[in-house]
Amino acid sequence: MAAGTVEETPPRLSEQLEAGWRLLEEVEASTEPSSGAPALQDKVRRGLDLLQRAARGVAELDLFSQNEDLEEIASADLKYLLLPALLGALTLKQVNLSKRLEHVQSARTYFMDFLKLCKNYNIGKFHLPTTPESADENDPASSTSGAGPAGRQSSLVAMASSRQAKIERYKQKKEVENRLASMKTFVESGQAEEEQVREFYLLQVQKWITITLEEIESIDQEMVILRGRNALKQASAPSQSSRQPRTAMKPFILTRDAVQAKVLGAGYPSLATMTVNDWYEQHWKQGVSHNKGVPQTTTADLAEEELQKEQLEKKVEEDDEETLRKARGLEDWKDTHPRGYGNRQNMG
């Protein structure tokens, strides 16, 4: 878009951007003890809604194009370059732990869109961060190949270079912030000339380039932790189909110590070795009644008793002296001892 077409930008679009930006600053400057405070999260939601509507308006107006140079962008439209960065910052302010991985991934996408936009217009000097999947292949600092002295030396050099770059970014950020602080009131009051407005928003873009690079580095580290935690949860929660059916436990008895068990036995009544049905079947075969538990008179027993009676009668008939003597003695004993004699248990 040409520099003289600033009037084409709807006022409503500018209000949405400024209102969403202001809410982000209020969230960042809050003294609430927790970032999850309802008032703060309400500002985050409202800010995201305003900035997203503004971003849709910018896309509909086609304010930025890959085929134009930075000088072709109107001074008042430069602030819309910040929309992806502001959206990424507010997205990170959300505190829903169950969706944290989704939030950081979304924020990283916003930040990368902002950096690509700045790269297209040659604003600032920086390297686009590699994606997490390709970091091991392209980033010397994260490469694990070359475990020997040469590999370790390369890693140390990369770490030193990264640290130096962070220090330089920090110095530039402080310098830019000081210049912005001295210009902010003058620009917001509407008293600044176009060149001053242009310088102000270009400084804002440079400031947010530094912020975005730092945020992406932190996001990549957090994503490793979040993915590892999710993988651990999935591994510790086996599916229902993988669970083995439980087998019945055999009865057991504990002893006070192993020596006692070996020498004296378990010290408890013996465990059952057969079921109740098995016990009844075994005793029934042995002639024991299942309801009284006493031996039943079998046919063989009756035949034996009959045989003994016949033999006794035969001896008496044959006048067997020994048999007659025992029978007379028993009769005499009955005469002198009444029925029940000697039963001490039923006295009374």
252-278: pLDDT as tens digits: 444 445 555 555 555 545 555 667 677
Distance from C-alpha of 209 to C-alpha of 109, rounded to nearest angstrom: 14
Query: Which is nearest to 28 in space by CA: 208, 271, 237?
Result: 208
Share of the chain above pLDDT 90, in %: 38
pLDDT tens sequence across 215-229: 999 999 999 999 998
Q: Answer with the residue of higher pLDDT: 244 or 119.
A: 119
DSSP state of 121: T
- State the DSSP string of 146-203: --SHHHHHHHHHHHHHHHHHHHHHHHHHHHHHHHHHHHHHHHHTT-S-HHHHHHHHHH
Distance from C-alpha of 317 to C-alpha of 10, rounded to nearest angstrom: 145
pLDDT tens sequence across 289-347: 445 444 555 556 666 777 777 777 766 565 566 767 777 777 777 777 666 666 555 55
Count CA atoms within 13 Å of residue 160 on its CB side.
6
Residue 27 and residue 38 in contact, taking contact as beta carbons nearer than 8 Å = no
Q: Answer with the residue of higher pLDDT: 210 or 146.
A: 210
Mean pLDDT of the chain: 78
Distance from C-alpha of 139 to C-alpha of 271, rounded to nearest angstrom: 70
pLDDT tens sequence across 53-65: 999 999 999 989 8
pLDDT tens sequence across 74-117: 999 999 999 999 999 999 999 998 999 999 999 999 999 999 99
Distance from C-alpha of 177 to C-alpha of 200, rounded to nearest angstrom: 11
Distance from C-alpha of 109 to C-alpha of 87, rounded to nearest angstrom: 10
Distance from C-alpha of 54 to C-alpha of 42, rounded to nearest angstrom: 19
Give bridge partners of residue 288 from the DSSP assignment: 295
Q: Global pTM?
A: 0.60
